[in-house]
Structure 1
Amino acid sequence: FLPPPQPHSGFSFSCPRQLKVPPYLGYRFLGERDCGAPCEPARPNGLMYFKEAEVRFARLWVGVWSVLCCASTLFTVLTYLVDMRRFSYPERPIIFLSGCYFMVAVAYAAGFLLEERVVCLERFTEDGYRTVAQGTKKEGCTILFMILYFFGMASSIWWVILSLTWFLAAGMKWGHEAIEANSQYFHLAAWAVPAVKTITILAMGQVDGDVLSGVCYVGIYSVDSLRGFVLAPLFVYLFIGTSFLLAGFVSLFRIRTIMKHDGTKTEKLEKLMVRIGVFSVLYTVPATIVLACYFYEQAFRGTWEKTWLLQTCKTYAVPCPSHFAPMSPDFTVFMIK
């Protein structure tokens, strides 16, 4: 399923003996077959980009936020289960959105508790390094990836559906029953599209361990996978959802203008506009920031890899890259993401 090896990001990389792995694993690191990224926080040069103290902070940071997210989303879902009639369309997608975020938070909480047990493989030789998990051979890594990616992408699609239902209700004057009559199509889109993408990634073996968070995801070491399976879909979902929201707001403003002209009270409509506006900002601003972080990552990943190799080439006794401006990733950006 993997393309033939090519020189990575414009520089030649030779796999150090410490990072070599058995061929049956099908690993590839910086374009080299049977090679893995180091996963030794306690050793000098034992991690790519980050120090042991940064990894410890990242784990704690992710752990705290995942627990808070678990609590808040579980409360929302339980509120719905207590009285299901309270949440009809167009608001009902918020419940499915919360359910998806609950599962994502559970996966991150599991990564926090399991530490490096899921994302790292044990040494294959006495002088070898532990390496970061790749592909689908490590079951725990695969399960965490499936939960994270499937529910993460489903949450983005439920956001698009929420924007669409608000547009249909506010802009097109659809009633609750008319929107609910199409709910099976909403569920088909929200669950089938992420399922197809998840299966495709598993078939391609493009799953990588993330040492910072303790979970597995796609595109940690492959820029093409990051662009194709993460950056592009998130951009498309955000663009479509925001377009529906803006179209809905334009319709609401028109209705408000007509109502004011006719002397009708607009308080109820204005409250609805404020509710939609606040929720939209609370979603679109963080989603845009995450998208910007991913864009930053894919733009500079090649330079970071060359810089890491320049810093470690003597330790690993491999050729050093030259003729480039060294640059390391900003740890703060990864924590925001």
Structure 2
Amino acid sequence: MKCFVAVLIIVTLATDAVSEASVRTCEPIKVAMCKNIGYNQTGMPNLARHTLQADADVTLQTFSPLVQYGCSSQLDLFLCTVYVPMCTDKVALPIGPCRGLCESVYERCYPVLSEFGFQWPAELDCSLFPAENNHEHMCMEGPGERTAPVGTVTLDSVNAGGRSACRRLIKPNSWVWVRGSSRCAQFCEAEVLWESGERRAAEVWLATWAALSFACTLAAVGAQLACGDRGSAGERALVLVALCRCAAAAGWGVRAAAGRTAAGCAKDSTTPTRMLLAHDGLANPNCAVVFLLLYYFGLAASVWWVVVAGAWRASVLRPSVTTSGTGTRNDRHSSLLQLAAWGVPAALAAAVLVTRDVDADELTGTCFVGNQSSKSLLALVIVPEAICLLLGTVFLATGLRAILRRPVPVPAPTALLTSPPQQITDQTLLRLGAFAALYAVPSTCILATWVYEYAWREDWLAAPVPTEIPSTQPRPAFWVFLFRIFASQILGVMVAVWIATPRLKALWRKIAGPRKPPLTKCPAGPPPTPLTLHCYATHSHSLSRSQMHKYATYRPPQQHSYRKPRHYHYSAGETIL
């Protein structure tokens, strides 16, 4: 009886195969996902019992997030061999995947599905496929998984491993592989390097200093416009530095007003249920606006500071140039300075937007460039700022050297008439140079924090290697990033204080009017009577003025003097001329 049942099953399967082969015809592949898979002919029904390619295409669309996730480099081939199998006239049955191909894809992609609460589909069960490709059962084995060599995976490297690259990072469940940008993106709410308390403290710190910087720079620029004093080339460039710092502070304000999620996070097709930390700022308008305000105006402020230092150096090296000559020279080079100060930051910002390197940092959720890419941080942030700092320092050093070597001028008798204007010019020049030197100190500190982040970021994000001796995972210093926020905002406060102090005084004098001289109080009672001197003589003849002056001085008494002694009496009633 058992033998009869077995024979009946074999005959039934053979009949189904013959009938299926009789109705199977090969046709060109119409599914877009499988057109460049390695073969161009398929036949229906497929291994999932779909009779139309349109039905197979609808089913394949449900695997699109998993394909974009990049969990396996053979996932495309495996799905196509199941739903759009290879067809040839020489073989009656469809040529699907081998069991080894299925198990390779299952090992890499099933943890991703289970992480999001999905089960492995029943029609993709690896036990349904042939164990190996031979003359009895033809199947497709696949080219094998393509992975990068060990030790070459970084945060922003492009590799075919996808999910394996994210597994090499700290807290791998907080990352997802984004195939479009070829990098591991962090979930927006994930705590990888910073805890929630540190994030809140940094956001309060950022909002406070940004508001102070914006208010100070806005007041300084308003005072300058109200006074209407153009000043020298260095002073005009300094006002533009304040304007750029005001716009950059407005960028921090946009970030604080929009909130962390709205400004620093974005949706992604691979994870429709969760938000990712922005790694392509163009997908989030708020992120793009914050980036433009911070990066463009921040770099423009650094370039204008170089102009300030250069103008101070020119004034020191050519102190004898007249005011009209200086103005003509500055006007002649004004267009070049404007082009350099506004054009260079614009070109770099356009390069960032074209390469789509705008990304958000985990601590504050602020969009900038280089927050997730070390190469972008070096090329687009560290190098431009270092060049500006180097040029400004060279200008300051050469100007200081010229001052130290200048001989001390000997004041001429006629210098008293021109000393007040010259003194005012020297004082303004000294204040301008002092400010340019002080401005370089916070700029140097900010550059040092960027270099610190560039040097240690890979160590912070690398997953710890299991060893016999437990080691401590390196973490970034929280105070360094807080200091960066403080230094970037204190630059605006410094330039505002320098500009606003003399301008506010001039504005107050204009509003209050000219100062009146102080009135002295007269003493009470009658005015004092001047002291007078009376001179009496006993002889009848008069004396000349010279003789009176002669006897007004003391002389020793002589024995033979024909004049009688004179008597001098002081009274308050008369005055001697």
Structure-2 residue corresponding to 1:331: 478
Larger displacement relative to structure 2 (197-206 or 74-83): 74-83
Counterpart of 1:291 in structure 2: which amino acid?
L
Counterpart of 2:165 in structure 1: which amino acid?
F
Contact 2:194–2:362, Cα closer than 8 Å, also in 1: no
The alignment-based identity, stated in percent, is 28
**CA–CA distance in structure 2, aligned partners of residues 109 and 299 of structure 1:** 29
1:66 is matched with which residue: 207, 210, 213?
A: 210
Structure-1 residue corresponding to 2:528: none
Structure-2 residue corresponding to 1:32: none
Counterpart of 2:396 in structure 1: which amino acid?
L
- Give unmatched runs, 5+ long, in structure 2: 1-147, 485-577
Structure-2 residue corresponding to 1:245: 396
* Post-superposition offset of 1:258: 3.4
Larger displacement relative to structure 2 (65-74 or 5-14): 5-14
Counterpart of 2:299 in structure 1: which amino acid?
M
Counterpart of 2:438 in structure 1: which amino acid?
L
**CA–CA distance in structure 2, aligned partners of residues 65 and 327 of structure 1:** 29
Structure-2 residue corresponding to 1:145: 291
| Matching of residues 199-214 of structure 1 within 5 Å | 199-214=350-365
**CA–CA distance in structure 1, aligned partners of residues 295 and 240 of structure 2:** 15
| Matching of residues 190-269 of structure 1 within 5 Å | 190-255=341-406, 257-259=407-409
Counterpart of 1:208 in structure 2: which amino acid?
D
**CA–CA distance in structure 1, aligned partners of residues 343 and 153 of structure 2:** 36
Larger displacement relative to structure 2 (203-212 or 158-167): 203-212
* Post-superposition offset of 1:130: 2.4
* Post-superposition offset of 1:199: 0.6
Kindly provide the CA deviation profile for residues 200-239 of structure 1, in whole angstroms up to 9, marking residues without a partner as x. Answer: 1111111101233332100001111101111111111001
* Relative contact order, higher structure (CA 8 A, sep 6+): 1
Structure-1 residue corresponding to 2:226: 82
Larger displacement relative to structure 2 (198-207 or 132-141): 132-141
Higher-Rg member (1/2): 2
1:118 is matched with which residue: 246, 260, 263?
A: 263
Structure-1 residue corresponding to 2:434: 278
* Post-superposition offset of 1:140: 1.6
* Post-superposition offset of 1:85: 2.5
Larger displacement relative to structure 2 (166-175 or 5-14): 5-14
Secondary structure, aligned partner of 2:360: strand
Contact 1:21–1:124, Cα closer than 8 Å, also in 2: no
Structure-1 residue corresponding to 2:166: 14
Structure-1 residue corresponding to 2:314: 168
Q: 1:22 to 1:223 in 2, by over 3 A?
A: closer
**CA–CA distance in structure 2, aligned partners of residues 162 and 145 of structure 1:** 25
Structure-2 residue corresponding to 1:292: 448
* Post-superposition offset of 1:115: 1.6
**CA–CA distance in structure 2, aligned partners of residues 145 and 57 of structure 1:** 22
Q: 1:51 to 1:18 in 2, by over 3 A?
A: closer
Q: Confirm or deny that 1:27 pairs with 2:181.
A: yes
* Post-superposition offset of 1:273: 5.4
Secondary structure, aligned partner of 1:208: strand
Contact 1:76–1:98, Cα closer than 8 Å, also in 2: yes
Q: 1:84 to 1:124 in 2, by over 3 A?
A: same
**CA–CA distance in structure 1, aligned partners of residues 267 and 196 of structure 2:** 18
**CA–CA distance in structure 2, aligned partners of residues 127 and 201 of structure 1:** 26
Secondary structure, aligned partner of 1:110: helix
Q: Confirm or deny that 1:130 pairs with 2:286.
A: no
**CA–CA distance in structure 1, aligned partners of residues 166 and 388 of structure 2:** 39
1:154 is matched with which residue: 275, 300, 303?
A: 300
Counterpart of 2:351 in structure 1: which amino acid?
T
Q: Could you tell me the TM-score, scaled by structure 2's length?
A: 0.49
2:186 is matched with which residue: 33, 37, 46?
A: 37
Kindly provide the CA deviation profile for residues 12-38 of structure 1, in whole angstroms up to 9, marking residues without a partner as x. Answer: 633657643765xx2343xxxxx4112
Counterpart of 2:246 in structure 1: which amino acid?
F
Q: 1:180 to 1:80 in 2, by over 3 A?
A: farther
**CA–CA distance in structure 2, aligned partners of residues 254 and 268 of structure 1:** 22
**CA–CA distance in structure 1, aligned partners of residues 374 and 244 of structure 2:** 26
Q: CA-atom RMSD, angstroms?
A: 2.8
Secondary structure, aligned partner of 1:130: strand
Kindly provide the CA deviation profile for residues 43-100 of structure 1, in whole angstroms up to 9, marking residues without a partner as x. Answer: xxx2231111111111111111111011111111112211332433121101110110
* Post-superposition offset of 1:249: 1.8
Contact 1:207–1:219, Cα closer than 8 Å, also in 2: yes
